[in-house]
Amino acid sequence: MADRPEEAAGKGVNKPSLSLHVPEPTYRPGDPVDFAHIVVPEAGAQARPDEACEAIETSDLCYDLIRVLGDDNKAHGPWDPKLDPDTLRTMLHNFAMTRAFDERMFRGQRQGKTSFYMKCTGEEATSISAAMALASDDMIFPSYRQQGILIARGYPMIEMINQIYSNKGDKLKGRQLPIMYSSREHSFFSISGNLATQTPQAVGWAMASAIKRDSRIAATWVGEGSTAEGDFHSACTFATVYNAPVILNVINNQWAISSFSGFAGAERTTFAARALGYGLAGLRVDGNDPLAVYAAERWAANRARANAGPTLIEHFTYRAEGHSTSDDPSGYRSAQEREEWPLGDPVMRLKNHLIEIGEWDEDRQEALDKECVDHVKAVTKEAEKNGILGHGLHHPFKTMFEDVFEELPWHLKEQSEQAIRERETKFPEGRPNS
Amino acid sequence: MIEAINEALDIKLREDPDVIVMGEDVGYFGGVFRATAGLQEKHGKTRVFDTPISECGIIGVAVGMGAYGLRPVPEIQFADYIYPGLDQLISEAARLRYRSAGDYISPMTVRSPFGGGIFGGQTHSQSPEAIFTHVSGLKTVIPSTPYDAKGLLISCIEDNDPVIFFEPKRIYNGPFSGYYDKPVEPWKRFDESIVPEGHYKIPLGKARHVTQGEELTVLTYGTMVHVAEAVCREKGVEADILDLRTLVPLDIEAIEESVKKTGKCLIVHEATRTSGFGAELSALVTERCFYHLEAPVERVTGFDTPYPHSLEWAYFPGPVRIGEAIDKMMAG
């Protein structure tokens, strides 16, 4: 211990004594909010390197913020994806539909029709705009807040609601917590409750695609909080080692339930900058700018498809609502944050852009919003015919034992018979509707 | 046994372009136990390759490869190091078919050397099979002879469920009687080492009768098959020794039939005792064969301690411990 300079001098203690830094968010409930410290660079000011560039050439972009839509609602700079108005209107339609879906499902949970729901309000661009930049058969490894991708890919909404209600129409047979969708047909991987596990899986899928000399790529979505998981480190390492055709989307919405992004390391660096240490290309994008998100995802997709390597994209956004129906954000953050968030709302920004370029107007927006609300309402009514949670219209008991293995082993056969016996004891006259 | 495993991998790599072999040091070098020697040279770097030192990554990418449609055969260098991959195995591989209602499956076979008796100390000797048998959706397979190793491994690779394939490294080069002071006799002196060329399968979920007898049933697997056999021979006990081969799914019919015949059941495994797989076997035998039992079911296992280095042979459930249990049961 004599190698400590203070000790050698006979003093024996640290001065000042060591202290542990525990991060603290800037605003707590009741605090007025001022986001002046968040640097919002000018739209169009970011350089767009060649898609096949060395990862190190993206260094500046890891600390910047790629933006296309300016305060003037016009598209600016080299990242402008120059989308045609029809594509922009489709994007807006997907936004509006996802928002209407979220509103209705949240209310459904409050009405006791299901046990649980999670909204993606404010983050629609990070999933929908990103997915629209990919091919429809590129494989998606989502987290739980990318429902907009299923809507953008044309997955039948009734299947989503059947899943949320765990009813007899649920393709996942009531086995999964609401919103943990799966659709092989729509190249949408089964959602797991275990965070970040999908990230090395996406890399493995991409490696498989490369092994088979396929042309499809993989993309994964993970929250900034989950980047602290070991799996994310594995994903970044494997992605670089094998030059896997994969895009790692990090949705930095500032909050992991009640923990602000400082607990995932955001106080001292950006999440995009993590890419550089692995040798990945990194982009940091305004996650509420639908055009910038589209452009960044397309850049990364082209890079992956050209065997030029994987990309990590940090989508800088804000979780406008609670974490889930089980969460009340007024217990840990200022209610003003949402209003003061400097990057605005992705739906409004796209709408205003379309109006600015003369391809949209307020009346059409009103009609669109109404159409979406009516559609979701009609589909919900249809889905409710298959039952709602806890009202008896579920899959037969024996299905609980199926798909554990490809074939039913003897011990599951025995347990299946037991469950059916118990049901007969409980309802000797038979139970209606089940 | 190493050659048999190598042959099984070679055959499946040749037959099925979707089979991928990967793990730490398995590629160019051919594996620290030589199980994958020569395979990269023969099948190419995109079929057989080295990975970063990340068990979570190895299993995680294997889940993704399985979702794509490949049939990955990842290696975990020692079973003692499988734990960083447990979340991917338990939360993902094991549940993928169930949670997606068959949308996605995880047809991987995780090969891993396991078990002690080689002065491996705490982290090169463990037998963690009970961690996996407790997980719904995983199959657990443990061979005890070269013939079985090849036939079982081919079955595992062709199986559409995730399988944990534990290879008892103590018997990679020859069977082990439990007498650690005697030289190991190589496999080639034993009939079980005769491995047919080409493709053959041993079905999962089927036990092997090692010896037939009327006096005592012994339920065991892996290295302990050979130790138990040697002890029964010395004691002159006519034992019905069952090498379980597959722990999940278990060959319950063979177990019931044997115990109902002999009335006595001894369970032998190297893993620690409390909540070990022996506890499940003991419970099943008691539940299903209670009125046929003439003595309490006995378990001979490793002690409930981490695997020691210098006291290995005091820890290992060898001839003395097994012999005492047999004497007690035969006297009863």
Cβ contact A197–B87 (<8 Å): yes
Say whether both B25 and B94 belong to one domain. Answer: yes
* Cβ–Cβ below 8 Å for A189 and B67: yes
| Residue B161 sits in the same domain as residue B212 | no
Interface list for B 267-286 with A (CB within 8 A): none
Q: For residue range B273-290, what is the model confidence (pLDDT) as tens digits?
A: 999 999 999 999 999 999
Which residues in chain B are closer than 8 Å to A230, comparing Cβ atoms? Answer: 56, 84
Q: Is residue B63 part of a domain?
A: yes
Q: What is the CATH number of the domain that holds B33?
A: 3.40.50.970
Residue B68 resides in a domain: yes
Query: Does residue B258 sit within a domain?
Result: yes
Q: What is the pLDDT of residue A429?
A: 81
At which residue do the structure tokens 């006995």 appear? B298
Task: Tell which of B137, B162, B193 closes a domain.
Answer: B193
Closest Cβ–Cβ partner in A173, A194, A406 for B161: A406
Site from A403, A407, A408, A410 to mutate, B interface, most B CB atoms within 10 angstroms: A403
Any domain includes B142: yes
3-state secondary structure chain A: CCCCHHHHCCCCCCCCCCCCCCCCCCCCCCCCCCCCCCCCCCCCCCCCCCCCCCHHHHHHHHHCCECCECCCCCECCCCCCCCCHHHHHHHHHHHHHHHHHHHHHHHHHHCCCCCCCCCCCCCHHHHHHHHHCCCCCCEEECCCCCHHHHHHCCCCHHHHHHHHHCCCCCCCCCCCCCCCCCECCCCECCCCCCCCCHHHHHHHHHHHHHHCCCCCCEEEEEECHHHHCHHHHHHHHHHHHCCCCEEEEEEECCEECCEEHHHHCCCCCCCCCHHHHHCCEEEEEECCCHHHHHHHHHHHHHHHHCCCCCEEEEEECCCCCCCCCCCCHHHCCCCCHHHHCCCCCHHHHHHHHHHHCCCCCHHHHHHHHHHHHHHHHHHHHHHHCCCCCCCCCCCCHHHHCCCCCCCCCHHHHHHHHHHHHHHHHHCCCCCCCC
**Which of B56, B99, B161 is opposite residue A200, by nearest beta carbon?**
B56
**Number of domains composing chain B:** 2
The answer to whether position B252 is within a domain reads yes
For residues B35 and B143, what is the distance between their CA atoms, to the nearest angstrom? 15
The model's confidence at residue B193, banded by pLDDT at 50, 70 and 90, is confident
CA B127 remoteness from chain centre: 9
Q: Within this chain, do residues B183 and B155 fall inside the same structural domain, yes or no?
A: yes
Rounded to a whole number of angstroms, the distance from the CA of B316 to the nearest CA of chain A is 31
Question: Rounded mean pLDDT of B119-125?
Answer: 94
Nearest to A197 among B52, B91, B105 (CB): B91
| B278 is a domain residue | yes
Q: Based on the domain organization, do B74 and B151 belong to the same domain?
A: yes
Mean pLDDT for chain B? 97
Min Cα–Cα distance to chain A from B15, Å? 16
Q: A118 touching B, CB under 8 A?
A: no
Instruction: Kindly determine whether residue A205 and residue B64, on different chains, have CB atoms separated by under 8 Å.
Output: yes
Specify whether B218 is located in the same domain as B281: yes
Q: Which of B136, B159, B193 is the last residue of a domain?
A: B193
Beta-carbon separation of B63 and A171 below 8 A: no
Give which of A170, A192, A176, A181 is closest to A148, Cα–Cα: A181
Check whether residue B316 and residue B281 sit in a common domain.
Answer: yes
| B139 and B188 both lie in a single domain | yes
Active centre residues of B (catalytic) = 124
Domain CATH number, residue B316: 3.40.50.920
Q: Say yes or no: B176 and B77 in one domain.
A: yes
Q: Which of B100, B105, B158, B281 to mutate to test the interface with A (most CBs of A within 10 A)?
A: B100
Smallest CA–CA distance, residue B200 to chain A, in Å, is 21
What is the pTM (predicted TM-score) of this model? Answer: 0.96
Q: What percent of chain B has pLDDT over 90?
A: 95
pLDDT at A434: 47
- Chain A closest CA to B193's CA: distance in Å? 31
Decide if A201 and B98 are in contact by the 8 Å CB cutoff.
Answer: no
Which site among B46, B65, B158, B164 would you substitute to test the A interface, given the most A Cβ atoms closer than 10 Å to its Cβ?
B65
pLDDT tens sequence for chain A (434 residues): 556 665 556 666 667 899 999 999 999 999 999 999 999 999 999 999 999 999 999 999 999 999 999 999 999 999 999 999 999 999 999 999 999 999 999 999 999 999 999 999 999 999 999 999 999 999 999 999 999 999 999 999 999 999 999 999 999 999 999 999 999 999 999 999 999 999 999 999 999 999 999 999 999 999 999 999 999 999 999 999 999 999 999 999 999 999 999 999 999 999 999 999 999 999 999 999 999 999 999 999 999 999 999 999 999 999 999 999 999 999 999 999 999 999 999 999 999 999 999 999 999 999 999 999 999 999 999 999 999 998 888 999 999 999 999 999 999 999 999 999 998 898 888 765 54
Distance CA A181, CA A159 (A): 9
For residue B20, give the 3-state DSSP assignment. strand
Q: What domain range is B164 assigned to? A: 1-193
Same domain, B13 and B156: yes
- Specify the pLDDT at position B183: 86
Cβ contacts (< 8 Å) between B57 and chain A: which residues?
200, 231, 234-235, 237-238
On whether any CB of chain A is under 8 Å from the CB of B331, the answer is no
- 8 A C-beta contact, residue A261 and residue A24: no
Same domain, B253 and B168: no
Same domain, B152 and B242: no
Q: Is the dihedral of CA A360, A361, A363, A366 positive or negative?
A: positive
φ/ψ of A316, rounded to 5, equals -85, 110
Q: Which amino acid is at A138?
A: D
Q: What is the DSSP letter of B90?
A: I
Residues 388-417 of A with CB under 8 A from B: 403-406, 409-411
Count how many Cα atoms sit within 13 Å of the Cα of residue B80 in the half-sphere of its side chain.
Answer: 14
Q: Within a domain: residue B231?
A: yes
Q: Does B201 map to a domain?
A: no
Q: Is A209 at the interface with chain B, CB within 8 A?
A: yes
**Across the interface, which of A204, A237, A241 has its CB nearest the CB of B64?**
A204
Are B218 and B132 found together in one domain? no
Q: Residue B262 carries which side chain, given as an amino acid letter? A: T
Compute the average pLDDT of residues B256-274.
Answer: 98
Q: Of B168, B193, B218, which residue sits at a domain end?
A: B193
Nearest to A208 among B57, B70, B205 (CB): B70
What is the C-alpha end-to-end distance of chain A, expressed in Å? 73
